[in-house]
Amino acid sequence: MEKLDFLVRFWDLRVRYETLGVPLNKVERLELLSLLQLLAAGGEPAPVEAIDACERGLPVQLTAGSGFLAGDLKDLSPDRLVIGAVGPLPTGQRTILYVADAVSGVEYSVPCVVLWSKDDEPCLIGLAPDGVPTRSEFTLPTSGFFRSPLAMLGQSLTTRHRASSSHFRALPAMKASLTAVEPTNPARSICTTT
């Protein structure tokens, strides 16, 4: 995940500088040069034949037609990404690679173009970054905005009533009045007492 983070920053700076012509400030130019040196020291990417298609990689999603294609990130270099997936994508198709890391709370979106596809089991798809990638942080909703019904299972009935809105606070009184309707015939009573 760290390598992907470095590469997303590298692709962002490179595309902004080379393709879009956006001038980089002094710090960004220094960062781009540092990343270029770091990536150049990494050597050549592994040949496609050496990539183990059956080995589990980082889970990713690709846009494909009117939906998404799930896959695994098998290999990563400055010029290509290799994805293992169930089915191939056509060469030249534009797609967006989506990766999310729930531990660090970071998600990445990388626009790509399909360089090649090998129709094996599982198939391998070669992608080239093609556009400005994004890196964003996501957080879980704060307490009070979202409450899972599963989280409430461990709470007592009275605690749930206090946490809920005011119209539910009348339930104990309604229960008592409903059981008092016909106390002589418990079979016809709506609520039974335990």
| Angle CA 114–106–46, to nearest 5 | 40
- Note whether residue 118 is domain-resident: yes
Q: What is the number of domains present in the chain? A: 2
| Assigned domain for 39 exists | yes
100 is written with which tokens? 């999310």
Least confident piece of the model among 52-66, 112-126, 168-182: 168-182
Q: In this structure, what token pair is assigned to residue 134?
A: 């994004």
Residue 191 lies in a domain: no
> Do residue 62 and residue 101 come from a single domain?
yes
What residues make up the domain containing 173?
144-182
pLDDT score of 179 = 46
Asked if residues 56 and 71 have their Cβ atoms less than 8 Å apart, the reply is no
Shared domain for 24 and 113, answered yes or no, is yes
DSSP E strand boundaries for 86-170: 94-101, 106-118, 123-129, 134-137
- Based on the fold, state whether residues 90 and 151 are members of the same structural domain: no
Question: For position 181, what pLDDT does the model report?
Answer: 47
Co-location of 6 and 68 in the same domain: yes
Q: What are the tens digits of pLDDT across the range 27-83?
A: 988 998 888 888 887 777 777 766 776 778 889 999 988 889 999 998 888 889 999
Amino acid at 72: D
Amino acid type, 70 = A
* Residues 88 and 49 reside in one and the same domain: yes
In a domain, 194, yes or no: no
Does 193 reside within a domain? no
pLDDT band, very low/low/confident/very high, at 141 (cuts 50, 70, 90):
low
Kindly state whether residues 151 and 72 are assigned to the same domain: no
Residues 94 and 159 in one domain: no
Give the domain-ending residue among 137, 152, 172.
137
CATH code for position 102: 2.40.10.220
- Do 175 and 132 lie in one domain? The reply is no
- In this prediction, residues 91-111 reach a mean pLDDT of 91
Asked if residue 57 is part of any domain, the answer here is: yes
Most distant pair of Cα atoms in the chain: their distance: 88
Comparing 92 with 6, the larger pLDDT belongs to: 92
pLDDT on residue 129: 93
Please tell me whether residues 111 and 177 are part of one structural domain: no
Is the pTM higher than 0.85? The answer reads no
Mean pLDDT confidence for 103-119 = 90
**Does 187 reside within a domain?**
no
